[in-house]
Amino acid sequence: MGVSALRTENLSKRYGRLLALDGLSLDVAAGEVFGFLGPNGAGKSTTIRLLLGLARPTSGRAWIFDTDAADVAAAHRRLAYVPADVALWPRMTGAEVLDLLARVGPGTDTAYRDELIQRFALDVSKPAGTYSTGNRQKVALVAAFATRAPLLVLDEPTSGLDPLMELQFRQAVGVARDNGQTVFLSSHQLAEVEAVCDRVGILRAGELVEVASVAQLRRLHHTDVAATFPGTPPDLAGVQGVDGLHEDGATSVRFTLSGSPAAALRALADADVTTIVVREQSLEEIFLAYYGHNAR
Amino acid sequence: MIVTTTAAARPEHVLRGLAVRQVRRGGLVVTAVCACMSALVVVGYRSEALDPAALAALARNPAIRTLFGEPVALDQAGGFTVWRTSVVLAVLLGVWTMLTATRITRGEEDAGRWNLLLSGRITLPEAVRQHLGVLAVVPVLVGAATAVAMIAAGVDATGSLLHGTGLAAVGLFFVAVGGVTAQLFVSRSESNGVAAAVLVVGLLMRMVGDGVPALAWLRWLSPFGLMALTRPFDTNRGLPVSVLAFAAVLLMALAGRLAARRDVGAAILATPGSRPARTTLLGSVPAFAVRRTMRPLAAWSAGIGAYFLLLGLIAQSMTEFLAGNPEFASMAAQAGFPALGTVEGYAATLYALLAVPVGVFVAVRLAATAADENARRLTLLLAAPVTRARLLGAEAAAAGCAALVLITVAGIAMWAGTATVHAGLAPGDALAGAWNVTPVVLLCLGAAVLALGWAPRAVAAIGALPAAGGFLWQVVADSIDAPTWTRALSPFTHLAAVPSTAPAWPAASVMAGIAAAGVIVGTIGYRRRDLSA
């Protein structure tokens, strides 16, 4: 196995009676784009705070490229970070913040930084106090992507960005991957994770419940389907991919679809379907379904 | 049928309830302090008897008038109480109401909590008016409680009520000042800074107006001057307090109007849209700490410098008066102000006061670090290769060095004042006297770092304790003739009267040692704990 960019061993964090993180053991290889998924309160941010040395683990240890994460002077020379909720000094302009972070940080490619400022359409001459949430996030993203740090730790970095900017973000992650940088992306936006990540870890209530490739994650996908018919709905029980079937009134049915939809669509077409609504399940629903299966 | 929705309460009731929760504790403390202190001084007065001729000389002396206000009706318990307490209580009430006004309006808005509040049926001007309206009840309560306490302690009702009204009017004025600056500026710190400047300028105008007969009209422009002009227990004038109350009402209405003319989260005085980057002092963590200290240091230097310049200007008059009136000199000595009769003794006594604002300055600077951590502004810095010890060291060193600058500014200002009136204070003596308070300031630094490590919510209070708490402790201990060991708890007891005597090096070393221990233990705590960043 190659070099680990980020490694934890039985990492736990307890806040009073709440066990926020329970024995997390994780290994992210250098050069990998790793998605860290989980619903709110699952312990994603706690994990990152422990990795950055902002909080102290109750037990267990963490390493950044084989440097103890607690030794921040050495460990932080090899990482850059984008927090979920970026707070800046309100009177400093974006350019001043970027200058400060470049001068105290792990080294910055200023030419690439200027390019990123253009791409993210960030007006750096304005004081940070006038920035929206998204603009503050852009400042932190530009600062992080412009470093040559071999590890980028991104905590829900696109929660305030519009779709255009999210596209820029995905491109920047691609550039980082091409440069051989490792990206640790915490998110609860499944589409974003699917688009950029090689592997994902799923956290639930402080425990790592799954580490899988994105191809494996896709199998978690279900689609909600609702269909109405001129008369009695056909019997879809036993059709390949159809699950959770129930009648919704006399002329309509609902079911979830997984895998190939071909068989189900044929069955519906044969029955002269009048309307059909197909909706992708939200991450939350997938998680709920997934956790439900696992619990059984 | 069971109704499960919450009854649609009237929004103004909800707003008022919210405001009451934010001001009730502080309001009760301020009310209790004002009422109790006034009653205690009334009761204490009866044991002292003053010679009318000496009192008349006192009332004529410009230095006494500048420092303590115009002495009127000192032959009565009520008049004496007003003279002794009115400036202190008015400043206390003014500072509290001003800080609270900006905290519950701009502070809440700044923290983003009003976004949710104002998404309902409540408008911004309504929220501002209701919050200021609830806060305005506190000074009225303070004035009433003070008047009742004084009447209960046995002084004349008219004077007591007028004094209470004056106190209430000053409080209302600063509720309104805080309310207006909160509309003008986009951040709470800027609003506080400008409101504090109004307070300091008002105080200096009162001092100059009292001390210089040709400039007596200045008092009509100052809330503290107007309060003094009512002359309770003497001529009992109602006009000045009416002017002050009218000004307060106008400002209060202005705050509501200004709130109606701006957006939520914005301010009347807009921050400049764009500007070129100023990249000086951004190169390292210590440089950045210095950069953030510069503006507050300039503002505090201006205030403290002006105050000590004024003290220097009245030095000659004060020392001559006390040299010619040994009765007051011995009274002053009993009250903990010995050797006021020489310019060195005068300087030494007043320099002790310097430790209070400078100690508070240090505490406030480290509290700003705690606030930066709490607001998560430090997160990006701490994600860089910057250890916590280095960050804390830089912040503490910047605050400490800035405090030394403040102390030096006070020394130079006092010397400049005394030199102008040829009072004969040598520049070396002036600086030595100012630097003599350094150990107390170091204690504040040690306490503030200790708090940052172990109790980050209470940095300002714990950091200011050695200076502000120690000073009050000494004043109370002196007034009630407390046993020696209780006096020894105040760091002020261990300060030598430099420049009239040599510095007390052993005591200074012990205080510096305690401060160093505080810094070390605080740093250990700061390195170990979880950051809220």
How far off is chain A from B371, nearest CA to CA, in Å? 11
Q: Which residues of A touch B375 (CB under 8 A)?
A: 87
> Among residues of chain B, what percentage have pLDDT more than 90?
59
Say if strands A151-155 and A79-82 run parallel, antiparallel, or are unpaired: parallel
User: Over 90: is that where the pLDDT of B455 sits?
Assistant: yes
**Best to test chain A binding among B185, B190, B285, B380 (most A CBs inside 10 Å):** B380
Quickly list DSSP for B502-531: ---HHHHHHHHHHHHHHHHHHHHHHHHSPP
pLDDT of amino acid B50? 61
Which pLDDT tens digit goes with each residue over B203-259? 999 998 988 888 889 999 999 999 999 999 989 999 999 999 999 999 999 999 999
Q: Are A54 and B387 in contact (CB under 8 A)?
A: no
Highest-scoring range by mean pLDDT, B136-140, B231-235, B327-331: B136-140
Give residues with Cβ within 8 angstroms of B103, minimum separation 6. B22, B188
CA dist list (Å): B379 to A109, B122, B223, B384? 21, 34, 43, 9
Cα(B71)–Cα(A225) distance, integer angstroms: 88
Among partner residues A73, A88, A125, which is closest to B276 by beta-carbon distance? A125
Comparison of pLDDT for B142 and B375, the residue scoring more: B142
Nearest CA in chain A to B375: A87
| Sheet with A59-64, side-by-side order of all strands | A18-29, A4-15, A59-64, A67-68
pLDDT of amino acid B308? 94
Assign B8 a pLDDT band (cuts: 50, 70, 90).
Answer: low
Interface predicted TM-score (ipTM): 0.82
Cα(A254)–Cα(A281) distance, integer angstroms: 13
Q: Which residues of B touch A88 (CB under 8 A)?
A: 377, 380
pLDDT of amino acid B56? 73
pLDDT of amino acid A296? 34
Binary contact (B383, A79; C-beta < 8 A): yes
Which burial class, exposed, middle or buried, applies to B214 when counting CB atoms under 10 A from its CB (0-12, 13-18, 19+)? exposed
User: Over 70: is that where the pLDDT of B185 sits?
Assistant: yes
Q: Are B219 and B204 in contact (CB under 8 A)?
A: no
Which pLDDT tens digit goes with each residue over B432-443? 999 999 999 999
Q: Which residues of A touch B385 (CB under 8 A)?
A: 72-77, 104-106
Average pLDDT over residues A278-290: 63
Average pLDDT over residues B473-496: 80
Binary contact (A49, B530; C-beta < 8 A): yes
Binary contact (A72, B375; C-beta < 8 A): no
CA dist list (Å): B155 to B36, B38, B146, B166? 14, 11, 12, 17
Say if strands A252-257 and A223-228 run parallel, antiparallel, or are unpaired: antiparallel
Q: Could you tell me which of A143, A114, A126, A123 has the C-alpha nearest to residue A90?
A: A126
Among partner residues A55, A76, A129, which is closest to B383 by beta-carbon distance? A76
Assign A295 a pLDDT band (cuts: 50, 70, 90).
Answer: very low
Binary contact (A73, B386; C-beta < 8 A): yes
Query: How many residues comprise chain B?
Result: 533
Give residues with Cβ within 8 angstroms of B24, minimum separation 6. none
pLDDT of amino acid B214? 86
pLDDT of amino acid B520? 97
Backbone dihedral angles phi then psi of residue A153, each to the nearest 5 degrees: -105, 115
**Strand spans (E) along A188-281:** 199-204, 207-213, 223-228, 242-247, 252-257, 275-280
| Least confident span in A177-191, B83-97, B397-411, B477-491 | B477-491
Q: Are A99 and B279 in contact (CB under 8 A)?
A: yes
Contacts of the segment A236-243: beta carbons below 8 A, 24+ positions apart = A236/A264, A236/A267, A236/A268, A239/A263, A239/A264, A239/A267, A240/A264
Average pLDDT over residues A186-196: 83
Comparison of pLDDT for B188 and A94, the residue scoring more: A94
Q: Are B35 and B143 in contact (CB under 8 A)?
A: no
Q: Which residues of B touch A79 (CB under 8 A)?
A: 383
Residue boundaries of the structural domains of chain A = 4-212, 223-280
User: Over 50: is that where the pLDDT of B270 sits?
Assistant: yes
pLDDT of amino acid A291? 59
Which pLDDT tens digit goes with each residue over B98-132? 989 999 999 888 877 888 888 888 899 999 999 99
User: ∠B481-B49-B343 over CA atoms, to 5°?
Assistant: 70
Q: Which residues of B touch A124 (CB under 8 A)?
A: 277
Assign A195 a pLDDT band (cuts: 50, 70, 90).
Answer: confident
Q: Which residues of B touch A80 (CB under 8 A)?
A: 383
Q: Are A4 and A78 in contact (CB under 8 A)?
A: no
Comparison of pLDDT for A214 and A290, the residue scoring more: A214
Distance linking the first and last C-alpha atoms of chain A:
34
pLDDT of amino acid A99? 96
User: Over 70: is that where the pLDDT of B48 sits?
Assistant: no
User: Over 80: is that where the pLDDT of A215 sits?
Assistant: no
Binary contact (B375, A83; C-beta < 8 A): no
Comparison of pLDDT for A258 and B4, the residue scoring more: A258
How far off is chain A from B400, nearest CA to CA, in Å? 22
Binary contact (B384, A104; C-beta < 8 A): yes
- Two structure tokens written together for B343: 């310019």
User: Over 50: is that where the pLDDT of B263 sits?
Assistant: yes
Which pLDDT tens digit goes with each residue over A74-92? 999 999 999 998 999 988 9
Q: Which residues of B touch A97 (CB under 8 A)?
A: 380
Residues in A lying within 8 Å of B, measured between beta carbons? 49, 52-56, 72-77, 79-81, 83, 85-91, 93, 95-97, 99-101, 103-106, 123-127, 129-130, 140, 143, 153
User: Over 70: is that where the pLDDT of B474 sits?
Assistant: yes
pLDDT of amino acid A68? 95
Which pLDDT tens digit goes with each residue over B385-416? 999 999 999 999 999 999 999 999 999 999 99
| Least confident span in B6-15, B76-85, B462-471 | B6-15
Assign B11 a pLDDT band (cuts: 50, 70, 90).
Answer: confident
Q: Are A103 and A70 in contact (CB under 8 A)?
A: no
Average pLDDT over residues B135-144: 97
Which pLDDT tens digit goes with each residue over B350-393? 898 899 899 999 999 999 999 899 889 999 999 999 999 999 99
User: Over 80: is that where the pLDDT of B341 sits?
Assistant: no
Binary contact (A99, B279; C-beta < 8 A): yes
pLDDT of amino acid B6? 57
pLDDT of amino acid B428? 94
CA dist list (Å): A61 to A7, A50, A66, A203? 8, 9, 11, 18
Binary contact (A105, B384; C-beta < 8 A): yes
User: Per CATH, is A4-212 categorized as 3.40.50.620?
Assistant: no
Cα(B184)–Cα(B267) distance, integer angstroms: 5
Q: Tell me which residue has tokens 């770092």.
A: B449
Written out in words, the top-level CATH class of the domain with range A223-280 is: alpha beta
Mean pLDDT of chain B: 89
Which burial class, exposed, middle or buried, applies to A235 when counting CB atoms under 10 A from its CB (0-12, 13-18, 19+)? exposed
Average pLDDT over residues B80-89: 85
Cα(B358)–Cα(B308) distance, integer angstroms: 13
Cα(A271)–Cα(A247) distance, integer angstroms: 15
Residues in B lying within 8 Å of A, measured between beta carbons? 186-187, 271-279, 282-285, 288, 292, 372, 375-377, 379-388, 390, 528-531, 533
| Sheet with A199-204, side-by-side order of all strands | A79-82, A151-155, A182-187, A33-37, A199-204, A207-213
pLDDT of amino acid B481? 65
| Least confident span in A93-102, B93-102, B265-274, B508-517 | B265-274
